[in-house]
Every structure is written in C-alpha cells, then in structure tokens.
C-alpha cells in the first residue's frame, strides 16, 4: 500500500527564517511527486511536480527536491503570506491518476 | 484559462438523504478525479473518470458513485448519507496524456457537505 508521511505536522517561523518541510514516501513505481499549498476553506493550489530522484524545481521563495525516498520543500526567507498548509502527494503503479496524500504541514510565518 | 469549478460550494443535508455534486474541468482536460478531505483522514482518493469511464476507485463504499459526460464534466453522488460523510469534496482535472509519468492534477475550490 502506498504511503506518504509529512513532517513536521506544524511549523512556526519568524519572517525571514528559512526552513524545510519533509515528505517521506513509500510508493511502488513512482510516477510523480507533487506539492500543493492549501489555504483554509480552499482547494489545494499546485506548486511543483517532480518525477526523478535528483530533480529540483524552484518558484520564488520555494524549492522542491526529490530523492528515492523523500522530498523536501525548502522555504527561503518566508513571508507571512507563505502561511498555509503544504501538502505532498505521490502517484505510483497502483493507479495512474491516483494521488496518495500526506496529512500536510501547517506553516505559520509571523511578522 | 478558467480553473476547475465545482457546484454547489456549500450543502447541508440530513442523514439518509442523497446528494449530487458537480465538477467542470479545465478546458481541454479529459480526466476528472474526486477526493474527500476530512480533518482526521486528510485527502483521500474516491475515483477517477476518463472518457466517460471509471478508471480507478478508492476504498469507499458503493454509496459513493460518479459519472462523466461527453464534455468531460463530472458528477458524484452519495446516497443514504451518514454523519461521517461530512467533508470537503474536491474535484481535480488533468490532461491524462499517455506516458509513464502522472499528469499534474489541478483542484477546484471544493464543495463543503454537512450532514446533520
């Protein structure tokens, strides 16, 4: 059974204090690793897709990396508007369009 | 380009009733997937429709069903509602291109269902 575990569950940062969120996955035949951001009461907003170990993607203050067992979302010099829940999801051989989600990391950035 | 739209946004029902939720995918996207999000279980996959056929199904009872129309719009139905069905129901669309890699799924705003 595919599994995705995210840590920490919650993270509080000061504005400008960089950190990383972790996503560990156990997926048979990884077909894609996805990062989303979700604000309260809204649907997940797509951030990154990673396909192969060693791949990196960047967007503004966010950088996602992928190894054979984990993915990291690095947040550099965060701002209060980066506060949200960050979700990691993986797709494997069990279903082409089936995403297995982690429980998310709730990030709060204080000014 | 317009995003994924879902209607209604909010719904209140009582136990035993049934409900139908609607999803319009991004123009050109042919696959629609449905997810249930609850505080305890997080986001869980319900099913996926592509070319009007259910392609994958998650571990949910038969009370949960869906369909897809020729224009790729999709509906999901929950019959005999239970209190535990209260959740945010999310729809996601993707291109569903052939290949070894999974396509990115783009989510709608969700339908908040409350069962009393």
Of A87, A97, A101, the CB nearest to B56: A97
- Torsion, Cα A60 B93 B56 B69, to 10 degrees, reads 180
> Which two three-digit tokens encode residue B94?
């993707």
Flag whether pLDDT at A34 surpasses 70. yes
Taking the C-alpha atoms of residue B77 and residue A77, their distance in angstroms, rounded to an integer, is 44
What is the pLDDT averaged over residues B80-92?
97
What is the pLDDT averaged over residues B24-46?
95
The chain B residue lying nearest A49, using CA atoms, is B104
Whether A31 sits inside 8 A of B101 (CB atoms) is yes
What is the pLDDT averaged over residues B7-28?
97
Chain A closest-CA separation from residue B5 CA (Å): 11
Flag whether pLDDT at A96 surpasses 70. no
Counting residues of chain A whose pLDDT is more than 90, the rounded percentage is 88
What is the pLDDT averaged over residues B89-103?
85
Instruction: Name residue B23's beta-bridge partners.
Output: B6, B74
The whole-chain average pLDDT of chain B stands at 94
Flag whether pLDDT at A1 surpasses 80. yes
The whole-chain average pLDDT of chain A stands at 95
Q: What is the pLDDT of residue B114?
A: 98
Pair B96, B31: CB distance under 8 Å: yes
Q: What is the pLDDT of residue B103?
A: 87
Q: What is the pLDDT of residue A61?
A: 96
Of residues B98, B105, B114, the one with CA closest to residue B34: B105
Q: Which residues of B touch A34 (CB under 8 A)?
A: 104-105
């Amino acid at each position: 059974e595919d599994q995705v575990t995210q840590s920490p569950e919650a993270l509080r940062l000061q504005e400008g204090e960089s950190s990383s969120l972790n996503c560990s996955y156990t997926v048979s035949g990884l077909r894609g690793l996805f990062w989303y951001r979700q604000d309260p009461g809204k649907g997940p907003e797509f951030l990154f897709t990673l396909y192969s170990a060693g791949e990196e993607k960047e967007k503004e203050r966010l950088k996602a990396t992928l190894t054979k067992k984990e993915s990291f979302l690095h947040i550099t010099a965060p701002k209060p508007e980066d506060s949200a829940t960050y979700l990691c999801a993986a797709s494997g051989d069990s279903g082409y369009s089936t995403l297995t989600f982690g429980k998310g990391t709730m990030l709060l950035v204080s000014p | 380009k317009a995003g994924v739209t879902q209607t209604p946004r909010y719904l209140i029902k009582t136990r035993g009733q049934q409900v139908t939720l609607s999803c319009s995918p991004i123009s050109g996207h042919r696959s629609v997937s449905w997810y249930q999000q609850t505080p305890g279980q997080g986001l869980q996959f319900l099913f996926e429709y592509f070319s009007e056929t259910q392609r994958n199904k998650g571990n949910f009872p038969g009370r949960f069903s869906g369909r897809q129309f020729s224009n790729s719009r999709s509906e999901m139905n929950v019959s005999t509602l239970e209190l535990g069905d209260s959740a945010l129901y999310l729809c996601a669309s993707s291109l569903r291109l052939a290949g070894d890699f999974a396509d990115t799924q783009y989510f709608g705003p969700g339908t908040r269902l409350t069962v009393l």
